[in-house]
Amino acid sequence: MTCFGDERTLDMPGQDDGCHLPMTRRNLLIAGASSAVAVATSAEAAAPSTPAEHASVPTAEVRMSVNGTPHTLDLDTRTTLLDALREHLHLTGTKKGCDHGQCGACTVIVDGRRINSCLTLAVMHPGAHVTTIEGLGTPEHLHPMQEAFIKHDGYQCGYCTPGQICSAVSVLDEIKQGIPSHVTGDLTVRPLLSMDELRERMSGNICRCGAYSNIVEAITEVAGVAA
């Protein structure tokens, strides 16, 4: 195993896999920034094999607003929005599940739309307004969807929950906007809110504990419709 070529080691500096990196990803980025390496760095020269070469991976600057706070980040171009949130802004509420857009645990709301933050690069979002679970509510002032998930026991282990809640908030917004779904009967009229609609629209969020029925009840309550 090539320790320095293993992205997981870089993404998860605390993980003990037998490789002892002398630098964390964050330190590497600081080194990259201080050596003023431009985006134009040739990728071949930056091919990772030693720590010294790692310091010259291509970086780019991106400014975005996260939960209302502006941030300027200088990032390895490979950094996903998910890793930028978790590893650079320390907003660890957003979870890394499959890291391939299959589970929905990383769902956040960008410019009013839910997306998989694992399948987009942070540098692709200049000027974006990102809302994570931390921005929806606080322990003292929960978002109604957070309250409903607690009331209806919409989770067991809780790992998928931030993604489920961000997705659920967006789902209600999408129905309000009239965006149809696979189960919408008539495409020429506005979709109605129903259990079938909620189940279909939430299918991109997997819950290994199987809390689905309680999740649907929670969303239904927030939508103002009797379960």
Partner 1 sequence: MKPFTYERARTPAEAAAAVARQPGAKFIAGGTNLLDLMKLQIETPPHLVDVNTLGLDRIEPMTDGGLRIGALVRNTDLAADDRVRRDYAVLSRALLAGASGQLRNKATTAGNLLQRTRCPYFYDTNQPCNKRQPGTGCSALGGFSRQLAIIGASPTCIATHPSDMAVAMRVLDAAVETVRADGHTRTIPIADFHRLPAGNPQVETALEPGELITAVTLPKPPGGTHVYRKVRDRASYAFALVSVAAIVQPDGSGRVALGGVAPKPWRDEAAEAEMPRGAKAVMARLLAGAQPTADNAFKRPLAERTLAAAITQARA
Strands 107-110 and 129-131: antiparallel
- Token pair of 179 as six digits: 């965006």
Closest to partner 1 by CB, 47 or 150: 47
- The span from the CA of 68 to the CA of 61, in Å, is 19
Closest to partner 1 by CB, 90 or 182: 182
Q: Are 55 and 86 in contact (CB under 8 A)?
A: no
- Strands (E) in 14-105, as ranges, are 59-66, 69-76
All residues at 6 or more sequence positions from 219 whose CB lies less than 8 Å from its CB, including other chains = 145, 148, 168, 171, 172, 198, 202
Q: How many CB atoms lie within 10 A of CB 137?
A: 15
Strands 129-131 and 59-66: parallel
Closest to partner 1 by CB, 107 or 214: 107
- What number of residues does the chain have? 227
Closest to partner 1 by CB, 108 or 218: 108
Write down the least CB distance from residue 172 to partner 1, Å: 12
Residues in the site for partner 1, rule: CB under 8 A? 7, 39-44, 46-48, 57-58, 60, 76-78, 80, 99-101, 104, 107, 113-116, 119-121, 123-124, 167, 170-171, 174, 177-182, 184, 187-188, 199-205
- Token pair of 158 as six digits: 């809780």
Closest to partner 1 by CB, 1 or 40: 40
114 membership: H or E segment, kind and range: strand 113-116
Write down the least CB distance from residue 153 to partner 1, Å: 23
Write down the least CB distance from residue 46 to partner 1, Å: 4
Write down the least CB distance from residue 116 to partner 1, Å: 5
Write down the least CB distance from residue 155 to partner 1, Å: 19
Max CA pair span of the chain: 61
Write down the least CB distance from residue 179 to partner 1, Å: 5
What letter represents residue 9's amino acid?
T
Closest to partner 1 by CB, 166 or 218: 166
